[in-house]
Structures are given as C-alpha cells and as structure tokens.
Amino acid sequence: MSVDGPSEKPVHGPDHPQSVGHVQPRKAVFFESGPPLKLEAGGCLAPVEIEFETYGHLNPERDNAIFICHALTGDAHAAGWDSNPLGPLRSYRKNKPGWWDEVIGPGKPIDTRHFFVICANVIGSCYGSTGPLSINPETGQPYGLSFPVVTVGDWARLHMMLLDHLGIDSLYAVVGGSVGGQQALEIALGWPERVRRLIILSAGYRITAQGLGFNSVARHAIVNDPNFNGGHYYSGQPPLMGLAAARMLAHITYLSEESMGHKFGRRLQDKSQPDFTLTGVEFEVESYLKHQGESFVQRYDPNSYLYITRAMDYYDASLRTDGDLTRAAALLQAKTMVVSFSSDWLFPPELCRELVSAMCRAGRAVTYVDIPSRYGHDAFLVETETVSRLIDSFLRH
C-alpha cells in the first residue's frame, strides 16, 4: 500500500505519550516435533515459525485481546518503533513507526491502555514467519519454490494457534484491511465462538476476476525475470525487475483514476517540455511508480510475492459452504462492521456489499459504511480520521 495521504500525518516518536514506544518482534514456533502442519492445499510444513508483536497488556480476565491482520505485503510491526530491525529486508523499518501506528496506541482508536493488541505475520511472507526465504531444515537451503502453497485458511489457523499459545480463548475483536480483512473474516468464520467483533476494511469475501488477472500478470513478470532461476536466486541476483513491475502494477490498483489524476495528472517530471525518451522517465506518474517499484524490491522477497498473491487468489469465503455465501454468513457470531471506500476498484463497494447482504439475509448483526473517498483501495490507510472514528465507535459499543 502506498501511504500518500490527503495531508501530512502526525508521526508520534517512541517517547510520545500516544506511542506504544519501542517494540521488538517475538517468535512462536509450532510443529517442532510430531507430525508436520498439514496445509489446506495439501502440502506439509514443519517447523512453523510465527513472528508477532504485542502492545498493551492482557487483562486478568484475558478477554481484551484484539488481533490485527496485516495486508498483502505487510508485517507484524503494526505500531511503535523497531529501532534495531534484524534481517536484510527490514531496514525500511528504521526511523519509521509501524504500519498502523496512527490507529494503535495509548488514547488511539485501538487503545492500548484498554486492549491487548496482537499482530502476527503470515506464513509465506518474508517478515519472520516461515516462508520461501526460510531455511528448509531438510536441505539447509532456503525453501524457494519448494515451499508449499499456503492459503488464507492456513494463516488463520496458525494465528489461532498463536492465540492458544498466548492463553487467549476469546478475542474482543479481529480487524483487518484488504487481504487482512479476508483473513479477519476467515478467523471469524472458522472460530465463531472465539471472536466477538469483526472489522473488515476494504475487503470482499473473494477477489474479482479482474483481481485474479492483475495477480496473474504480476506473477508472470516475476517468473520471467532473467534472474528468477526457478525461484533459486538466493545466492545470486534476485528477480528485482520483475518484482518491481509487479509492484508498479499493484500500485495502480491501490490508487484510483481520480487520485492519480489529482496527484500526478499528466505533469512532466521536473521539466516543462518532454525529452521524448522512449524508456526513460517523462511523466511524474512514471517516476512515482518507478520509485514505488525500486523501494519495494529493497524490502520484499519475490518468491513471497508469488505465494501471498496466490493465497489471495484462492480465498473465497463462500466455498466453506459450497458457494452459498448466505450459509457462510450464517456461521458468523461476531458483531461485524464492513467498511468500503467509494473509489476502491480492487475491492469495490459492490463486492463488499455482497457480504453485508448475505449477513442481512442470514440475520446476522452487521454495520456497513461506504466512505466517499477518492483514494481508491489505499483509502483504508489514508482516510485515517474517518476510519479511526468508526473503529473507536464500533469497539466501544
């Protein structure tokens, strides 16, 4: 996601009273002995590490936990400052707060004075949970493409095991945006008795055919990069140009036509007349996308991008009940809030409303808000004030 907003956002340094301060990721390891984890897609995995962070304190009743699901290329570092990030792909964390720091902290909508907040990285990612970059204990080498296909259902199951490990039976809420919203939905569907509130931002119960198409082109670009080498690139040059193309493409889908027009229009980059360059940068929008591609490849593993987009492809909450979304919605016991944004075309409001309608048909409690915004899919990270008010209000009642 890009984080270009309507205005400069306040950044709370680690010593600010509304910051959760300095944080460090933690790890939980599962399937160290005994049979391995059997994945939904049929593969096996052992051991399975889950990286997570927590903020605030679990109360004696152990009923104040809120679980945060991160978006596609996100991580467990949702709030606070990780001033000494370990690992080559984590330098982007330096001198930047967690990805949802505006929403999580003392006195913020997800208030760490009252709630114990957990955010965990998904498997398949490259941010601490087991993924293609991890060492396969059987070979002593990174898994690469020998890593098994993982699904949103696997993410949800492992994160529920993490909650068991932390001694948390019941969640006050589960919250997620984009594919994180899909994981939040999956948790609420799979463990309805353990989830009291569900907040889904900018997400549908599945992606559209168009979304499948974009993901397919993105993977095509990575796999056909000259350095891809069947996914075995860890000892050489990674397929960074392919990953950059994938990210550039994804970025277009995160913005809206209107926000791109407003932000860049057809302005030239630092010049008043075009240079008439065929492959160089001419327009501001080209420069922006190029920058997004270049900075992303410093922080993400191309193989992980293949795995997590595929997980997004496969997710369809209605398949749990043979394609009948109303029957799936009937499984939910959580009070639910669904938030869409008018200009989001990756998870368009109509798609978000399908789940809401199914919940209504199933007689389930649901609050639905469609926020007028020009910021497209990114709006859930950009329209922070509106999102904060909604979350605050929903969590209080």
Q: Which is nearer to a copy of itself, 191 or 205 (CB)?
A: 205
Among 7, 235, 272, 277, binds a copy of itself (CB under 8 A): 277
- Contact call for residue 236 and a copy of itself (CB under 8 A): no
Q: What is the pattern of x (binds a copy of itself, CB under 8 A) and - over residues 315-334?
A: -x------------------
Q: Which is nearer to a copy of itself, 161 or 268 (CB)?
A: 268
Residues near 353 by Cβ (< 8 Å), separated by ≥ 6? 340, 368, 370
Q: Is 372 in contact with 344 (CB distance < 8 Å)?
A: no
Q: Is 2 a catalytic residue?
A: no
Q: In the 8-state DSSP scheme, what is residue 65?
A: E
- Contact call for residue 265 and a copy of itself (CB under 8 A): yes
Q: What backbone phi and psi angles, to 5 degrees, belong to 120?
A: -125, 145
- Contact call for residue 372 and a copy of itself (CB under 8 A): no
Binding window for a copy of itself (CB under 8 A); candidates: 90-98, 115-123, 157-165, 248-256: 248-256
Min. distance of Cβ 47 from a copy of itself in angstroms? Answer: 22
- Contact call for residue 225 and a copy of itself (CB under 8 A): yes
Min. distance of Cβ 388 from a copy of itself in angstroms? Answer: 29
Choose the catalytic residue: 178, 259, 340, 373.
178
Q: Is 202 in contact with 340 (CB distance < 8 Å)?
A: yes
Among 103, 160, 200, 245, binds a copy of itself (CB under 8 A): 245
- Contact call for residue 310 and a copy of itself (CB under 8 A): yes
Q: Cα separation of 297 and 293, whole Å?
A: 6
- As a whole number of angstroms, the longest Cα–Cα distance in the chain is 67
Distances (CA, A) of 16 to 9, 19, 92: 15, 5, 21
Could you say which residues in the range 26-55 bind a copy of itself, by CB under 8 A? 41-43
Q: Is 315 in contact with 182 (CB distance < 8 Å)?
A: yes
Q: Which is nearer to a copy of itself, 78 or 312 (CB)?
A: 312
Min. distance of Cβ 324 from a copy of itself in angstroms? Answer: 15
- Contact call for residue 144 and a copy of itself (CB under 8 A): no
Which segments of the chain does DSSP mark as H helices, in order?
152-165, 179-190, 209-223, 240-254, 257-263, 284-297, 302-314, 325-330, 349-361, 379-382, 384-396
The neighbour count for residue 217, using CB atoms within 10 Å, is 13
Q: Is 83 a catalytic residue?
A: no
Q: Is 114 a catalytic residue?
A: no
Q: Cα separation of 131 and 300, whole Å?
A: 12
Binding window for a copy of itself (CB under 8 A); candidates: 57-65, 178-186, 222-230, 388-396: 222-230
Distances (CA, A) of 310 to 15, 149, 218, 337, 347: 40, 8, 11, 26, 16
Token couple for 62: 């152990």
Choose the catalytic residue: 129, 344, 373, 378.
344
Binding site for a copy of itself (CB under 8 A): 41-43, 145, 149, 206, 208-210, 212-214, 216-217, 219-221, 223-226, 241-242, 244-245, 248-249, 251-252, 255, 257, 260-261, 263-266, 274, 276-279, 282-283, 285-286, 289-290, 293, 306-307, 310, 313-314, 316, 345, 348
Q: Which residues are identified as catalytic?
A: 178, 344, 377
